Amino acid sequence: MILSMTTKAPKLFIPRQTLSEIEHLCMNTSGAGPAPEVCGLLAGHIKADHFRVSKVLAMDNSAESDLPHRYRIDAQAYMEAERSFELRGLQIIGIFHSHPGTSAEPSQLDRDYFFPGWVYLIVGLLSGGLTEHRAFTKFVSPADAIIEVSIQVLDHEAAPW
């Protein structure tokens, strides 16, 4: 169940250039058969229920050979990325991944594996080269609710707090 919040909705602040980088990564998959999901980490800061993306890091999809409509980030690669971001004063605040050939609506599998307190940016790769961006977060209460996060694209690096 995705809840919609009318007051104090969570926001994702992301520089236009960073969003373009994510879109480029998601659109440039290769290989035969169904395109695998592309995934990566979002790093930055969280303040209250707002997320500010400063850096992204594409990650290898270790589930690619299992099923094309899944992503998995290797635990060792995740820990190395986390250490690298921490050295730069950043924290991992979420994940981005693509939905090749479909909308940016989270699948049931996505919802089941969302970590509470992180933001999930989904890039739907639609027909005709069109894309759709949506973001979500999971709250522990009420009942593991999934909330859509509004995306505020910035023309500069600094997010207004």
Q: The pTM is what?
A: 0.87
pLDDT of residue 31: 47
Token pair of 28 as six digits = 């440039």
Mean pLDDT (10-residue bins), the chain, 161 residues: 57 95 81 70 93 94 68 93 97 95 90 92 88 91 84 78 54
Instruction: Give the closest residue to 57 by CA, choosing from 45, 78, 42, 74.
Output: 42
pLDDT of residue 5: 46
pLDDT of residue 124: 92
pLDDT of residue 106: 94
d(CA 5, CA 22): 26
pLDDT of residue 29: 62
d(CA 23, CA 28): 9
d(CA 6, CA 44): 25
Q: What is the DSSP letter of 52?
A: E
